[in-house]
Homo-oligomer: A and B are copies of this chain.
Amino acid sequence: MRARSASSADAAFLASYKPSDFSRPSVAVDIVALTVIDSLLRVLLIRRAEPPFRGRWALPGGFVRVGDAHRHRGESLDEAVARELDEETGLSVRDVYLEQLGAFGHPDRDPRMRVISVAYYALVRPDLVPTVRGGGDAAHAEWHVVPSRGLRLAFDHDRIVDAARERIRERIHTTSLARSLVARTFTIPELRNVYAIVTGEPQDPGNFRRKFQAMLDARVVERAPGKRITASKPAAVYRFA
């Protein structure tokens, strides 16, 4: 996304240009990390140890490192969110599905100062959940059920979580998003459960199987060795190819 270099005609201008002292906002990235635990959609929240909203639950995130005018290059938004994801959860961008949600910039969203937040959502496979560590100041990190009824989050983070919830509902049928919400190996009922959780509608086993069969035919998924032991009939195990 590097901009093309400015024309030579601009060079003189740039050499003499001094960023004016217009007041500027701080810019943060916030992460809505979602997973499925015990058949419930969950979001990773961190209990704030400092004001404002001390003691409230909030999304993991932090400020974008902007660099110092011409000396330091600074980081892109994608780089910032990758860094924060690693710092606050120990997760790598390679292991999760990560996508920008949008910018949230109401003047009153942070009582300290003007902060514009660029929110991302991250889908975390359930088998990676045990590896998530609340690092740094994230000593108190927990996976909370979504929607977190009665749990009023810090800042405008309720709205950001709602936006993420809505986004995955829109995308579940047109993308392979569900892939990032089941363990690496999974059964048909487990995958079906993800669709049910995200859409909010129960999924018919027979009809879902037909959809799954199409994924098998298209070699999107394949059989994996072994069987999943349940309370009744064991289920065949699959994985994404």
A3 touches B108 (CB 8 A): yes
Instruction: Report if A124 contacts B (CB, 8 A).
Output: no
B9 touches A51 (CB 8 A): yes
Known contacts being A24-B27, A53-B7, is A109 close to B68, with CB within 8 Å?
Answer: no
Taken together as a complex, chains A and B put the C-alpha atoms of A50 and B7 apart, in Å, by 12
Count, chain A residues at interface, CB 8 A? 56
Residues of B within 8 A of A25 (CB): 24-25, 27, 64, 66, 74
CB contact between A63 and one of B6, B22, B27, B114 (< 8 Å): that residue: B22
A69 touches B23 (CB 8 A): yes
A102 touches B102 (CB 8 A): yes
Taken together as a complex, chains A and B put the C-alpha atoms of A17 and B69 apart, in Å, by 25
B6 touches A111 (CB 8 A): yes
Least Cβ–Cβ distance between A96 and chain B, in angstroms: 19
Stretch at the interface among A38-46, A151-159, A185-193, A206-214: A151-159
0/1 interface trace, chain A 140-169, chain B, CB 8 Å (1 if under) = 000000000000100110010000000000
Taken together as a complex, chains A and B put the C-alpha atoms of A3 and B69 apart, in Å, by 31
Instruction: Report if A103 contacts B (CB, 8 A).
Output: yes
| Interface of A: prevailing SS | loop
Instruction: Report if A203 contacts B (CB, 8 A).
Output: no
Instruction: Report if A110 contacts B (CB, 8 A).
Output: yes
B3 touches A109 (CB 8 A): yes
Residues of B within 8 A of A156 (CB): 1, 3
Taken together as a complex, chains A and B put the C-alpha atoms of A70 and B55 apart, in Å, by 24
Instruction: Report if A104 contacts B (CB, 8 A).
Output: yes
Taken together as a complex, chains A and B put the C-alpha atoms of A159 and B3 apart, in Å, by 10
Instruction: Report if A233 contacts B (CB, 8 A).
Output: no
Residues of B within 8 A of A73 (CB): 107-108
A51 touches B10 (CB 8 A): yes
Least Cβ–Cβ distance between A133 and chain B, in angstroms: 26
Known contacts being A69-B113, A103-B103, A116-B77, is A54 close to B9, with CB within 8 Å?
Answer: yes
Residues of B within 8 A of A54 (CB): 7, 9-10, 13
CB contact between A111 and one of B3, B9, B55, B118 (< 8 Å): that residue: B3
Least Cβ–Cβ distance between A156 and chain B, in angstroms: 5
Residues of B within 8 A of A176 (CB): none
